[in-house]
Structure 1
């Protein structure tokens, strides 16, 4: 039995203090620069809503039985949440690798699964805070009411977990900021924009509908839309099952990468 195993066992099956410390560090990372990590996404989401409202105008017909701007709001909220959740974990790991202090995270007696949970929880907290801010704006400015609050919260939290996990994988894979930017620009952003954020997938040809349903972000957007305004392209239960399954697989990959030291140890 290795010294690391003995060290972990001294704390019991779960190193709760170490896990809480990592979560607190990840939360404090974005809280100390809240104008960039919390306020800026709210402004960006507001600008998206304003631009679409002005560009399309009141002449745009209803979508799925609701005004277009109301249909659009949950998609903008969820897209903002997943982008920030991804950025939280990916930037944390990449910055640590570039600065050479990733060892400070790997050395403490934390199991690989505890490291994954710590990073992902920080991303979830950031995503939920961003979602709360945007939701308050939706209620105050658009006069919306939240149709199914529990579904809305569950999809927002699960979206933060999924994208936080993807951020861990991307952060471990990338060795420099250019690689991280490429992953964001060519993978994460297209998945977010081509997921039904700005339209109902039923408006697409059947072939494109089938392709869209391969994208797990579609189920996040669709489920969150059901939670906030009560309409969706698919069953929320099916969407949640898909998202949870994908999240589990990505977290398992992140766990394996940390356990084996993939791109983390020289």
Structure 2
């Protein structure tokens, strides 16, 4: 039997079976507890819409030419998507580290990039599942139609990849749940809430508007709004470029951390 040359994996350039297995594990993690990971975000998004509608009422007037509830809905959808994508990748890594079974992921013949992509697949899948559920609810109960389905889907995937990569980095950095909670409360939540979810950034003072436009999550919210109701504060092409490049940088950073074993092999 011919043996592979030194440095050449017998699985080939890409271990497709290993990558598929890791991705499947990450997807099954949230599917088996769907009431917590899929139903709960749908209920939370509905509560956000109901509370804002009751609190502000019809007197709020239109925003960017559409009713306030319609303006609000895509932002809440994307905010929910990114929060769930982040939670999927970060919780998986932190739980594995706390329980001491992270070695089960590091030992198999998976390259650092394959590990990153496997975790990202789970985060992106959860984001897409949540987006589909919320979109169905918005269409059914608010009577909204999707203006640009392809753009909405593209930004959903980008949002899942972006916050999924952030979740991998946070999960590698955090060694306990308290550290992860701090990252969620002081980084992820402010990025989500201060990104134009509940308002148009053009209504902000110039300095705050510039700060908001420096936040990649703003482009995710804005892109989802354009995909859903056809209005936005910036061109969707700009959003895809900004978020795409930022995601590539984050994926590279996650790959570097896994390749070097940072806070994983100590």
Q: What band does the TM-score fall into relative to the shorter chain?
A: over 0.9
Q: Partners of 2:44 and 2:114 in 1: how far apart?
A: 33
* Counterpart mapping for 1:37-186 below 5 A: 37-186=37-186
Q: Partners of 2:211 and 2:57 in 1: how far apart?
A: 30
TM-score (norm 1): 0.97
Which consecutive residues of structure 1, in runs of 5 or more, have no partner in the other structure? none
Alignment: residue pair count? 262
- Following superposition, the deviation at residue 23 of structure 1 comes to 0.3
CA 1:68–1:254: 2 relative to 1, 3 Å: same
Q: 1:182-226 deviations in whole A, cap 9, x for unaligned?
A: 000000000000000000000001111001011000000001100
TM-score (norm 2): 0.97
Q: 1:66-101 deviations in whole A, cap 9, x for unaligned?
A: 000000000000000000000000000000000000
Q: Partners of 2:141 and 2:66 in 1: how far apart?
A: 16
Q: Partners of 1:25 and 1:10 in 2: how far apart?
A: 23
CA contact (8 A) 1:8 1:15 kept: no
Q: 1:19-67 deviations in whole A, cap 9, x for unaligned?
A: 0000000000001111000000000000000000100111111000000
Q: Partners of 1:142 and 1:34 in 2: how far apart?
A: 24
**Superposition RMSD on alpha carbons, in Å?**
1.0
CA contact (8 A) 1:162 1:246 kept: yes
Q: Partners of 2:149 and 2:249 in 1: how far apart?
A: 27
1:243 aligns to 2:243 (yes or no): yes
Residue 223 of structure 2 corresponds to which residue in structure 1? Answer: 223
Q: Partners of 2:16 and 2:7 in 1: how far apart?
A: 13
Q: 1:104-156 deviations in whole A, cap 9, x for unaligned?
A: 00000000000000000110000000000000011011101000000000000
1:206 aligns to 2:203 (yes or no): no
CA contact (8 A) 1:24 1:122 kept: yes
Which consecutive residues of structure 2, in runs of 5 or more, have no partner in the other structure? none
Runs of 4+ with deviation above 2 angstroms: 5-8
